[in-house]
Amino acid sequence: MVSEIQTTSEITVKLINSMGSDAMIAAAAWVSTSYEDGLQRAIDNPDDVPGVIKYLVKNRHGSPFEHGSLTMYTEGPIAMYREWHRHRIGHSYNEMSGRYSVLEPKFYIPSPDRPMFKDNNWKAGRPKFLTIEQERERMLSDMDGKAGPRTPADQDPQVRYDHLIANLTESYELAYEKYEKNLAMGFDPGLARDCLPVGIYSKCWVTVNPRSLMAFLSLRLHEPERGTFPSYPLWEIEVAARAAEKLLKEGWPITYEAFVKNGFVAP
Amino acid sequence: MVSEIQTTSEITVKLINSMGSDAMIAAAAWVSTSYEDGLQRAIDNPDDVPGVIKYLVKNRHGSPFEHGSLTMYTEGPIAMYREWHRHRIGHSYNEMSGRYSVLEPKFYIPSPDRPMFKDNNWKAGRPKFLTIEQERERMLSDMDGKAGPRTPADQDPQVRYDHLIANLTESYELAYEKYEKNLAMGFDPGLARDCLPVGIYSKCWVTVNPRSLMAFLSLRLHEPERGTFPSYPLWEIEVAARAAEKLLKEGWPITYEAFVKNGFVAP
Amino acid sequence: MVSEIQTTSEITVKLINSMGSDAMIAAAAWVSTSYEDGLQRAIDNPDDVPGVIKYLVKNRHGSPFEHGSLTMYTEGPIAMYREWHRHRIGHSYNEMSGRYSVLEPKFYIPSPDRPMFKDNNWKAGRPKFLTIEQERERMLSDMDGKAGPRTPADQDPQVRYDHLIANLTESYELAYEKYEKNLAMGFDPGLARDCLPVGIYSKCWVTVNPRSLMAFLSLRLHEPERGTFPSYPLWEIEVAARAAEKLLKEGWPITYEAFVKNGFVAP
Amino acid sequence: MVSEIQTTSEITVKLINSMGSDAMIAAAAWVSTSYEDGLQRAIDNPDDVPGVIKYLVKNRHGSPFEHGSLTMYTEGPIAMYREWHRHRIGHSYNEMSGRYSVLEPKFYIPSPDRPMFKDNNWKAGRPKFLTIEQERERMLSDMDGKAGPRTPADQDPQVRYDHLIANLTESYELAYEKYEKNLAMGFDPGLARDCLPVGIYSKCWVTVNPRSLMAFLSLRLHEPERGTFPSYPLWEIEVAARAAEKLLKEGWPITYEAFVKNGFVAP
């Protein structure tokens, strides 16, 4: 009678609705210096738009980028949302409730290509992680000529990955079984769920404007080469941020390009 | 060579762009309790929408009303914008700059039907004002059998109104003349304008979401009968708020109706 | 070699630092109407302070209540912080990181006196819960003359409570064991923790101003009698809110009293 | 019977109250990685504080800088407040009301050492201004061997400055005279004041946290040499910002130093 759990690595970010364009941002900026109808100017002289947007981004005139909106439907593990919800300004959320509904038995496991092994140079605030392949190379290089595996961290990374998945899955199963039992006994769902892990899936509507989206991207994309101020986000939130980045690029291509050229510094 | 000034009572609020609908708000709310596609449910069962929106407004579940956006083009005197710009949350502004452009010689004067004479019961925080007609009645009633006009406040209200318009206009003219002279001497426009009055026109793009718009309306509409917490806004900002109220009503009619029924208390 | 877990029901909210007073709020308000030194006036005429504060609260003039600050050290389960972090305006947070540190094996279990059994009238958005004692009475009344226990929800509430604690504890233990194993294998702590439950303890600094604190309290205190707009918060966040309420009362007693008298409606 | 007006160049920013310190910011940061009592650590190991603060500023971990507060009493012309009030996040204001009180006849005039003449290279968004002395030099250099003064901008800068002061003063006097007449006729003070200029003085309480103060400073200080992203603020708001900068430096010296070293980029 116990529900079977489902495990997945998928993180979803889908556009629900949007308002605005690069032209609208340019027109919002032009209101400060010109008596023209800015939207008409953007239509008549589309070549004026990139110039003003580049200027705004470079000189951090951020307010014009607030005249736009983008609503996304998202799915991912609670651990990911814990990071997302820390963005307060220009971010609106409506999330699945664990108090008013029964959470589905759907849980996150990393795909094999997630960089996940701590690098020798790992340190708080600036963590680096290796993929299975990279970790194998590191081990070969580090342990050159030394004796074989003795600690859990010395096992082959593929074996360790398999253990990780088994550990997570086993724990998820027990947690969900207990959750269902707690519910069946008539407990407050907001209490019954306390055993559920941060790897369980939730879903959330997120609405942002282009400016607050850029602020989010500036902190949640790892851009060691192109970024002026490199960030070291959790992998799962970066996957979501990459999807949101695409939506910005599609809806506001000139703004996006200026943002990238400006080292991912949000105006 | 002096520019002629223009005086007007018009306050402009025009829709530039918007995103969202009552259905979208309902769908945002449903994400917390249901695994269905909320937008589809709103299409399939449109009758479900009003119920959830009424419930949300009544119980002050405000976040679903943030999934929407509304951009307005506005024109009005600086005195009006001074009030508007105090709204910080969920409000985005781009305004005409007096530092980078020459302000037009366009100034605000009240139309004759603005309630503008201090009532006997006027007091800070809860001011009441009378129209020309009402003021005339008040004077008749107050001064019944007493001696005639002796102070400026004892003149006929129409005469006083004419004086007001003349006072404002005369002052506006001198201010703009001095402004142009200051500019002609090569001064920083941001300094040359210090003589310009708060009655001069500015223009501004304003972007809000339905929730922040309701918060604005709750404080900037005078609703002594229907409002749970009556407000006493400046007349000019209320004129703008009435126009914005219409935009809310047109774009989110069910939300608007629930807001009114709930005593203009923003969720 | 597995760490022993600790379970507790304690939720901690302690004052770290604060700025401000009722006098300071009154003085901030007086700046709008008076040229006096408001702080001096509050010293010279302390009796003026309650009047203005009552007026401000009643008429929802909220901005003076932002001139103050209160920093709290808090501890509680992640499930509680998930609710707290949804407060964005005037709320600042710094929380224990599961990416940069190893989370302690400390977990939440409800104390026996937490209302936790779903009432017959439970419904989403307006949940009601019964204590062990109340649930026992309900069962007696509901099942009067009917056959005995057949489903998990029909067991004695004390027995069910014991099962709940066992379920949570067992699940917590397995989760923490797997977590430690994942860490030992060299995995990203931000990934290794995905099996950890929302019942695990975190800690967080929270800074608010009196206005944002009142907004928080208005939504996180259950005040069916005294509240104008009753809320139905999660028990654990209400425990934290009750502690924060005391801090408001201690630091701003007149403000607090006005807030209560005004039906817990935040100005 | 007309009130005499007062003109001044003074802009006031005075500390009313504050909470916090560099140690408190460090302690707020340490909560994310350590189980120690951070405030105790800052006392026991004061040398740990500068390191963490530099790290936080450099890597734009901004949230710890929100655990502090600073309330200022300010006075300046409305033109200055128009810029200040555009800062919405982490900024709280209570300002003199022109609706509920009679504004004093106190007006702003620039001191002779304000850079105020448009440079040849002036352009919107990046304006440059010259002092009286610099402008005299520019004229000599530009007009070398050319014919003498013909336009208002060709007069000696000291003469032009005197004209500016006269223009402003004359306009201020008429505006205030008309304002008083409008009030005497019993008009709504919120309407009677429409002729008052943006050079009239207002006063305002401003409360910020160290993070929002740094964001303000990053946009309102002109730092062409030391600033990573140079800003071109209005002179009057920069004067206020310089005074606020001192308050930051006094209350949070290590934070301030890190902010300066980091090119005035707010974390």
Q: Using an 8 Å Cβ cutoff, are D79 and D108 in contact?
A: yes
pLDDT band at D166 (very low <50, low <70, confident <90, very high): very high
Contact B32 A67 (CB under 8 A): no
- Given this model, what pLDDT does residue C185 score? 97
Strand ranges for A54-200 from DSSP E: 69-77, 91-95, 106-108, 117-118, 129-130
Contact C33 D97 (CB under 8 A): yes
Q: What is the mean pLDDT of chain C?
A: 95
pLDDT band at A147 (very low <50, low <70, confident <90, very high): low
- Given this model, what pLDDT does residue C7 score? 98
C178 φ, ψ (degrees, to nearest 5): -70, -40
Identify any residues that bridge with B202 across adjacent strands, giving them in sequence order. Answer: B76
Q: Average pLDDT for residues B10-33, to the nearest whole number?
A: 97
Nearest-angstrom CA–CA distance, A108 and A9: 6
Q: Pick from D17, D63, D95: which is nearest to C93 by CB?
A: D63
CB contacts of B182 in chain D (<8 Å) are 164, 167-168
Q: Is C241 on the interface with D (CB under 8 A)?
A: no
Nearest to C173 by CA among A161, A190, A5, A174: A174
Q: Is A190 on the interface with C (CB under 8 A)?
A: yes
Q: Which residue has the higher pLDDT, C145 or B49?
A: B49
Q: What is the pLDDT of residues D145-154, one digit of tens each?
A: 666 667 899 9
Length of chain A (residues): 267
Nearest-angstrom CA–CA distance, D116 and B189: 9
Q: Is D68 on the interface with C (CB under 8 A)?
A: yes
- Mean pLDDT is lowest, of A41-50, B243-252, D120-129, for D120-129
3-state helix/strand/coil string of chain C? CCCCCEEECCCEEEEEEEECCHHHHHHHHHCCCCCCCHHHHHHHCCCHHHHHHHHHHHCCCCHHHHCCEEEEEEEEEHHHHHHHCCCCCCEEEEECCCCCCCCCCEEECCCCCCCCEECCCCCCCCCCEECHHHHHHHHHHHCCCCCCCCCHHHCCHHHHHHHHHHHHHHHHHHHHHHHHHHHHCCECHHHHHHHCECCEEEEEEEEECHHHHHHHHHHHCCCCCCCCCCCCCCHHHHHHHHHHHHHHHHHCHHHHHHHHHCCCCCC
Q: Is D34 on the interface with A (CB under 8 A)?
A: no
Q: What is the pLDDT of residues C47-89, one digit of tens each?
A: 999 999 999 999 999 999 999 999 999 999 999 999 999 999 9
CA angle centred on D149, ends D148 and D153, rounded to 5°: 145
Contact B24 A97 (CB under 8 A): no
- Given this model, what pLDDT does residue A119 score? 87
CB contacts of C55 in chain B (<8 Å) are 125
Q: What is the pLDDT of residues D33-54, one digit of tens each?
A: 988 899 999 999 999 999 999 9
Q: Pick from D100, D185, D234: which is nearest to B163 by CB?
A: D185
Q: Is C147 on the interface with B (CB under 8 A)?
A: no
Provide the b/e sequence for B112-134 (b: ≥16 CB within 10 Å).
Answer: eebbbbbbeebeebebbbbbbee
Contact D55 A89 (CB under 8 A): no
CA angle centred on D155, ends D150 and D156, rounded to 5°: 150
Q: What is the pLDDT of residues C84-112, one digit of tens each?
A: 999 999 999 999 999 999 999 999 999 99
**pLDDT tops 80 at residue B201:** yes
CB contacts of B33 in chain C (<8 Å) are 124
Distance from CA of D34 to the nearest CA of B (A): 34
Nearest-angstrom CA–CA distance, C107 and C76: 9
CB contacts of A73 in chain B (<8 Å) are 31
Contact D60 A219 (CB under 8 A): yes
Provide the b/e sequence for D38-59 (b: ≥16 CB within 10 Å).
Answer: bbebbeeeeeebbebbbebbeb
- Given this model, what pLDDT does residue B2 score? 77
Helix pair D157-184, D132-142: axis angle to 10 deg = 130
Nearest to B194 by CA among D237, D107, D122, D13: D107
CB contacts of D89 in chain A (<8 Å) are 89
**pLDDT tops 70 at residue A1:** no
Q: Is D31 on the interface with A (CB under 8 A)?
A: no
- Given this model, what pLDDT does residue C126 score? 82
Contact C66 D207 (CB under 8 A): yes
Contacts of C among chains (3+ CB pairs under 8 A):
A, B, D
pLDDT band at C146 (very low <50, low <70, confident <90, very high): low
Q: What is the pLDDT of residues C176-213, one digit of tens each?
A: 999 999 999 999 999 999 999 999 999 999 999 999 99
Q: Pick from D55, D86, D125: which is nearest to A59 by CB?
A: D125
Contact A229 D125 (CB under 8 A): no
Interface of A with D in 38-67 (CB under 8 A): 55, 59-61, 63
Helix (H) or strand (E) holding D204: strand D201-208
**pLDDT tops 90 at residue A225:** yes
Contacts of D among chains (3+ CB pairs under 8 A):
A, B, C
Q: Is D122 on the interface with A (CB under 8 A)?
A: no
Q: Pick from B31, B71, B207: which is nearest to A94 by CB?
A: B31
- Given this model, what pLDDT does residue D34 score? 87
pLDDT band at C12 (very low <50, low <70, confident <90, very high): very high
Q: What is the pLDDT of residues B26-36, one digit of tens each?
A: 999 999 998 88
Distance from CA of B60 to the nearest CA of A (A): 14
Contact C33 B124 (CB under 8 A): yes
pLDDT band at C233 (very low <50, low <70, confident <90, very high): very high
What is the share, in percent, of chain B residues with pLDDT greater than 90?
Answer: 89
DSSP reduced 3-state for A14: strand
- Given this model, what pLDDT does residue A34 score? 87
Q: Is B132 on the interface with D (CB under 8 A)?
A: no
Length of chain C (residues): 267
Q: Is C152 on the interface with A (CB under 8 A)?
A: yes
Chain A residue closest in CA terms to B90 = A90
**pLDDT tops 90 at residue C125:** no
- Given this model, what pLDDT does residue B149 score? 64
Q: Is C124 on the interface with A (CB under 8 A)?
A: yes
Distance from CA of B54 to the nearest CA of D (A): 31
Helix pair B253-261, B22-30: axis angle to 10 deg = 80
Complex confidence, ipTM? 0.95
> What number of C-beta contacts closer than 8 Å exist between A and B?
104
Q: Average pLDDT for residues B133-142, to the nearest whole number?
A: 92
Q: Pick from B31, B39, B95: which is nearest to A31 by CB?
A: B95
Nearest-angstrom CA–CA distance, B97 and B78: 12
**pLDDT tops 80 at residue A100:** yes
Q: Average pLDDT for residues A129-133, to the nearest whole number?
A: 96
CB contacts of C59 in chain B (<8 Å) are 125-126, 229
Q: Pick from D32, D67, D101: which is nearest to C207 by CB?
A: D67
Distance from CA of D124 to the nearest CA of A (A): 8
**pLDDT tops 90 at residue B118:** yes
Annotated catalytic, C226?
A: no
What is the share, in percent, of chain B residues with pLDDT greater than 70?
Answer: 97
Distance from CA of B262 to the nearest CA of D (A): 28
Helix pair B48-58, B22-30: axis angle to 10 deg = 70
Structure tokens at B86: 């105090």
Chain D residue closest in CA terms to A59 = D229
CB contacts of D128 in chain B (<8 Å) are none
pLDDT band at D1 (very low <50, low <70, confident <90, very high): low
- Given this model, what pLDDT does residue A127 score? 86
**pLDDT tops 80 at residue A212:** yes
Q: Which of D33, D56, D59, D221 to mutate to test the interface with A (most CBs of A within 10 A)?
A: D59
What is the share, in percent, of chain A residues with pLDDT greater than 70?
Answer: 97
